[in-house]
A and B are shown apart, each in its own frame.
Chain A
Amino acid sequence: MMPYFKFGFFSVDFSLVVAFVIGIGFGFSLERGGFGNARILAAQFYFYNMRVLKVMFTAIVTAMLGLFYFSWIGWLDMSLVYATDTYLLPQIVGGLLLGIGFVIGGYCPGTSVVSMSTGRTDGLIYVLGMLFGIFVFGEVFPLLEGFYNSTYMGRVLLPQYFGVSFGMVVFLVVFMALGAFAAGEWAEKKFAKKGRIAE
């Protein structure tokens, strides 16, 4: 049965080796996608290069279909896959801040690491800024703790929240993503101008 780690197939020490290898795959994919480049990431928000949307939703659809079919075959116990508990309001407010920071800084935490390791100075400065932001958060945490723990909903997945079957949500997400890709391709053509980086 998978996930292997939760069934004790290997030790915590070995899990760190797994972490490193998976991290390499993650970083490799991000760089291949052009996510080590702030201009490409920012372009998402001006519609002329929709790589972020394409890569992210393709990845979500791939992994989601994988999870669905692996648990359908019976190889994976989905209830053991970790999902963060939902704290609705802090997550929405945090998400808004994150979006603003994304456009201003040009990276998100994962891509900034790739950017830094491929020699970008702005990536390095971004990482320092992020560490500073986390430090500030840590320092004001006692004041924020109430809000941070508000609107707690536990482990809620979309199918159970909407009361529909897992397959239904998978179906909707797949077709929503395909629609978004079509719209993205259209937007790229419409907003593309000379001098801007395309593919």
Chain B
Amino acid sequence: MKELILKLSTPKKLAIVAAILGMFALIIGDPTNSNKISVNAKALALSTIKDQDKIDVMTLADWLIKGNADYALIDLRNEKKYSEYNIPSSINIRMEDLLSSDLMRNQKILLYGDDDVAAAQAWFILKSSGFKGVYILEGGMTAWKDEIMFPKLSANATPEQTASFEKAKQVSLFFGGTPQIVSGSESSSAVSMQKAPAQSVPKLTVPANTKSSAKKKKEGC
């Protein structure tokens, strides 16, 4: 047997190795099922402590103003809502298309939907598929509108509240929002409810998805 193996020429040995590996491959079938994943639940759970995975809207507004662009901002809402209004520089990707999109595993990804629910679902999908830096915009679009586009200050605010409102006002104006002071001490929520329909969301000044139009060179030949 040993002599027989020694007598074979190198190409024949290679051919035998290839044939054996090929037959094993046939038995193995699929090396991985890319849709079936194993998740380190403990690591996932730990990463939620201290809210490390959440970014509040003020921080995002700050990044946008400073032109910090080391993250991909993903809008998970449907196309209609996206085209009506979206946070500048965001890219519209539906949740079912997340895994087939060209997001990179090592990219910082910031997710938002109408509220936290969609973002949380997408967070889990991405996290469990090996994406490292996935973050949720806390409060989603609702929070963005409330705090950035239409910040409110009640008339009987404390000096600290007023001070922080001054800052919010600047930010809001930057994004074309309308800061407002709610008059009177009566139920402010009722007032804002009445007011809400009148506030039309400003037309986009920044073209939608400026980020994706900056073309990444393709990898192919």
Co-complex (A, B)? yes
- Quick check: B21 and A168 within 8 Å, CB to CB? no
Q: How far is the CB of A107 from chain B (nearest CB, A)?
A: 15
- Quick check: B105 and A171 within 8 Å, CB to CB? no
- Quick check: A171 and B22 within 8 Å, CB to CB? yes
* The one of B15, B18, B104, B130 that contacts A65, using a Cβ cutoff of 8 Å: B18
Residues of chain B contacted by A61 (CB below 8 angstroms): 18
CB-contacts of B201-221 with A (<8 A): 219-221
0/1 interface trace, chain B 61-85, chain A, CB 8 Å (1 if under)? 0000000000000000000000000
Q: Does B6 have its Cβ within 8 Å of any Cβ on chain A?
A: no
- Quick check: B21 and A6 within 8 Å, CB to CB? no
0/1 interface trace, chain B 4-15, chain A, CB 8 Å (1 if under)? 000000010011
Q: A72-B32, A178-B15 are in contact. Are A170 and B106 (CB under 8 A)?
A: no
CB-contacts of B11-54 with A (<8 A): 11, 14-15, 18-19, 21-32, 34
- Quick check: B32 and A171 within 8 Å, CB to CB? no
- Quick check: B34 and A79 within 8 Å, CB to CB? yes
- Quick check: A171 and B31 within 8 Å, CB to CB? no
Q: How far is the CB of B109 from chain A (nearest CB, A)?
A: 13
0/1 interface trace, chain A 36-50, chain B, CB 8 Å (1 if under)? 000000000000000
Residues of chain A contacted by B23 (CB below 8 angstroms): 171
0/1 interface trace, chain A 164-184, chain B, CB 8 Å (1 if under)? 011110110111011001000
- Quick check: B106 and A171 within 8 Å, CB to CB? no
- Quick check: B21 and A69 within 8 Å, CB to CB? yes
- Quick check: B22 and A174 within 8 Å, CB to CB? yes
Residues of chain B contacted by A72 (CB below 8 angstroms): 28, 31-32
State how many residues of chain B have any CB contact under 8 Å with chain A: 26
- Quick check: A166 and B130 within 8 Å, CB to CB? no
Q: A61-B18, A65-B22, A171-B22 are in contact. Are A82 and B31 (CB under 8 A)?
A: no
- Quick check: B29 and A166 within 8 Å, CB to CB? yes
State how many residues of chain A have any CB contact under 8 Å with chain B: 31
Instruction: Look across to chain B and name the residue whose beta carbon is closest to the beta carbon of A77.
Output: B130
Give complex CA distance A153, B104 in Å. Answer: 22
Residues of chain B contacted by A177 (CB below 8 angstroms): 18
Residues of chain B contacted by A68 (CB below 8 angstroms): 25, 28, 31
- Quick check: A174 and B105 within 8 Å, CB to CB? no
- Quick check: B32 and A170 within 8 Å, CB to CB? no
Q: A8-B105, A174-B22, A178-B18 are in contact. Are A82 and B30 (CB under 8 A)?
A: no
Q: How far is the CB of B98 from chain A (nearest CB, A)?
A: 13
Residues of chain A contacted by B11 (CB below 8 angstroms): 181
Q: How far is the CB of A82 from chain B (nearest CB, A)?
A: 5
Residues of chain B contacted by A71 (CB below 8 angstroms): 31-32
- Quick check: B34 and A171 within 8 Å, CB to CB? no
- Quick check: B15 and A181 within 8 Å, CB to CB? yes
Give complex CA distance A82, B30 in Å. Answer: 19
Q: How far is the CB of A39 from chain B (nearest CB, A)?
A: 23
- Quick check: A168 and B29 within 8 Å, CB to CB? yes
Give complex CA distance A69, B32 in Å. Answer: 10
Residues of chain A contacted by B104 (CB below 8 angstroms): 6, 8
A to B CB contacts below 8 Å, 9 in the list: A58-B14, A69-B31, A72-B32, A159-B30, A166-B29, A166-B31, A167-B28, A168-B29, A174-B22
4 nearest interchain CB pairs? A8-B106, A174-B22, A72-B31, A171-B26
Which A residues contact B (CB, under 8 angstroms)? 1, 6-8, 58, 61, 65, 68-69, 71-72, 74, 77-80, 82, 84, 159, 165-168, 170-171, 173-175, 177-178, 181
